[in-house]
Amino acid sequence: MKILVTGGCGFIGSHLVERLLKEGHQVRIVDDLSTGSLDNISGFIKHPRLELIIDTILNEPLVDELVRRSDFVYHLAAVVGVRRVLENPIESILVNMEGTNNILKRCSRWQRRLLLTSTSEIYGKNENVPFTEDADIVIGTTTKRRWSYACTKALDEFLSLAYAEEKNLPVIIVRLFNTVGPRQSPHYGMVLPRFVKQALSGQPLTVFGDGRQTRCFLHVEDALSAMEKLRQQEKAYGGVFNVGTQEEITIADLAALVKEMTASPSEIVFVAPEKVYPRGFEDMQRRVPDISRLTALTGFTPVRTIRDIVADTIAYFTQSQNNG
């Protein structure tokens, strides 16, 4: 197939592109490199079946042509990371909303199948865990900037489902929960790569708050397996699916695990979030997905444990240090 991947130079996008090339597909990437990096695709950037376009998904004529020439579209391009959203709220809102509308409009025009990546952020402050896809969205006040990201992604979902209903657009929505692994940048508030880099360099591992907040971390390769299974399922189109794991860990325990597995002398320190993040930060205590809908349709279950994930992340950054 001819497959378009928006955001294909990003962390998840680069792994997706690499997998698609190995499967024999012809792949086009469109990425403005605002958070993506050419380093992420350096191992296969010269692949004969890969075409790279450095541009924005706000470029309507370009997106129209790329979608027309594709059989399937993976839409991953978005402003990501709590820190980046807080520091660049206008960019976050415009790219996430106008960019997605552009993709949807062109996929509708050419009737191309589409998988759109959404986020666990849209569950907001809902405390009724594990989250099911039909759970209520509980968004915080507009004076807290971090909620702008959740709102834009929720509107992306509303718009996608509207296109599915009114225009018969074949679209799948996946809500990703804390996808991590090799190539993920420590910038923009990504906790695991930050811990690993700190541990390997002997710096203190900085835990924001009391560290008792919990997350469920999913290896990027498991996330891609779920997305691929959904793409191949006719009944998935028009649906919304949580993609994650139910293996829950506190952030303090994650820091301790990284310290143990790196054999690092680094200390673990607890820092008030307001000393690190710009105004508008707010955190949630727990994020746990219910993936029963995904499992029932595709048979998907995560393969890699948190120790596997940490080990792969450590190996990646260790190699990067040795090469650098």
Check if 149 is active-site: yes
Torsion of Cα atoms, 272 then 11 then 200 then 219, to 10°: 90
What pLDDT, on the 0 to 100 scale, is given for residue 221?
98
- Whether 203 maps to a domain, the answer reads no
On the 0-12 / 13-18 / 19+ scale of CB atoms within 10 A, 319 is: exposed
The number of residues making up the chain comes to 324
Residue ranges, the chain, pLDDT below 50 = none
278 occurs within a structural domain: no
The Cα 79–Cα 67 span in angstroms is 21
Residue 278: is the preceding peptide bond cis (ω within 30°)? no
The answer to the question of residue 207 being in a domain is no
Residue 43 domain-assigned? yes
CA 154 – CA 142 distance, rounded (Å) = 14
Task: Quote the number of domains for the chain.
Answer: 1
Please report whether residue 192 resides in a domain.
Answer: no
294 neighbors 300 (Cβ within 8 angstroms): yes
Cα–Cα distance measured from residue 311 to residue 324, given in angstroms and rounded to the nearest whole number:
20
Taking the C-alpha atoms of residue 244 and residue 239, their distance in angstroms, rounded to an integer, is 16
Structural domain span for residue 43: 2-178+219-244+289-301
Task: Specify the pLDDT at position 279.
Answer: 56
CATH of residue 33:
3.40.50.720
Structure tokens belonging to residue 181: 């692994």
Q: What is the pLDDT of residues 90-116, one digit of tens each?
A: 877 888 889 999 999 999 999 999 999
pLDDT at 148: 84
Is 311 inside any structural domain? no
The predicted-structure confidence for 173-211, as pLDDT tens digits, reads as follows: 999 999 999 999 887 668 999 999 999 999 999 999 999
Q: Is residue 236 part of a domain?
A: yes
Residue 309 belongs to a domain: no
From the list 123, 149, 188, 237, the catalytic residue is 149
- Name the pTM for this structure: 0.94
Helices (H), the chain: 11-22, 60-68, 82-87, 89-94, 100-110, 146-166, 191-201, 220-231, 251-262, 292-298, 306-323
